[in-house]
Amino acid sequence: MNLLQIIKKRCGIAAEITVYDEEIEGYIEDCKADMMASGVPKSIIEAECQSAVTAITFYVKAYIGDDRSDTEKYVKLYEKKVSRLALEEENVE
């Protein structure tokens, strides 16, 4: 399963629904850039370890769709996860 499909599944979007794919892919790329700027080692982001995927999921959930009532909650979860990831070692297996 590729990253887009994983994120869609975690966001409760069926694989058959593709109308949001381009938007989600944009958020994934924005998130990866933000994580790198926040000090998360590139190897962790590229390895798509579970912690990085969780951070990306929080980011996408914060910004996807028209209902922004829970954006702040997911942004805070994302920021906490990124802070922890930034402390991780560069080498990921």
Residue 14 placed within a domain: yes
pLDDT band at 65 (very low <50, low <70, confident <90, very high): confident
Residue 93 placed within a domain: no
Residue 91 placed within a domain: no
pLDDT in tens, 31-63: 999 999 999 999 999 998 999 999 999 999 999
- The residue that leads in pLDDT, 17 or 66, is 17
- The residue that leads in pLDDT, 67 or 57, is 57
Residue 33 placed within a domain: yes
Quick one: which of 8, 30, 29 has its CA closest to 19? 8
Residue 41 placed within a domain: yes
Residue 1: the pLDDT is 79
Residue 20 placed within a domain: yes
Number of domains making up the chain: 1
Q: Are the beta carbons of 40 and 81 closer than 8 angstroms?
A: no
For residue 8, what are the domain limits? 3-86
Residue 28 placed within a domain: yes
Identity of the amino acid at 15: A
Q: Model's pTM, two decimal places? A: 0.90
**Using H for helix, E for strand and C for coil, what is the string for 45-60?**
HHHCCHHHHHHHHHHH
Residue 92 placed within a domain: no
